[in-house]
Chain A
Amino acid sequence: MFKKSLTLGIVSGLLAGIAGILYAKLYYTANEADFSKVASSVRIISSSLFGGVLAAIGYTLLVKALKSKGEIVFNLLFTILSFASLLLPIAFKLPLTIETPELFPGMVIPMHLFPALGWYTLKPLFIKN
Chain B
Amino acid sequence: MNKLLYPFAAALILAGSAFTFIAAQNWQIADGYSIAFTSDDASGIFKGFKGNIAFDEQTPATAKFDVTIDVSSINTGNGLQNKHAKSDEWFDAAKFPVIHYTSQKVTKTASGWLATGDLEIHGVKKSTPIPFTFKKTATGGLFAGTFTVNRNDFKLGKPGGDVGEQIKLDISVPVNK
User: Interface on A for B, CB 8 Å cutoff?
Assistant: 90-96, 98-105
Determine the distance from Cα of A91 to Cα of B77 in the docked complex, in whole angstroms: 10
The contact size tier of chain B is 10 to 19
Determine the distance from Cα of A96 to Cα of B44 in the docked complex, in whole angstroms: 7
Determine the distance from Cα of A98 to Cα of B44 in the docked complex, in whole angstroms: 11
Q: Are A102 and B82 in contact, with the CB atoms below 8 A?
A: yes
Within 8 A of A (CB), among B21-77: 36, 44-45, 47, 75-77
A-B contact number at CB 8 A: 34
Which residues of chain B are near A94, meaning CB under 8 Å? 77-78
Determine the distance from Cα of A103 to Cα of B75 in the docked complex, in whole angstroms: 13
Q: Which of A91, A94, A96, A105 has most chain B Cβ within 10 Å? A: A96
Which residues of chain B are near A105, meaning CB under 8 Å? 79
Q: Are B82 and A98 in contact, with the CB atoms below 8 A?
A: no
Which residues of chain B are near A103, meaning CB under 8 Å? 79
Which residues of chain A are near B78, meaning CB under 8 Å? 91-94, 101
Which residues of chain A are near B80, meaning CB under 8 Å? 90-91, 102
B83 at the interface (CB under 8 A from A): yes
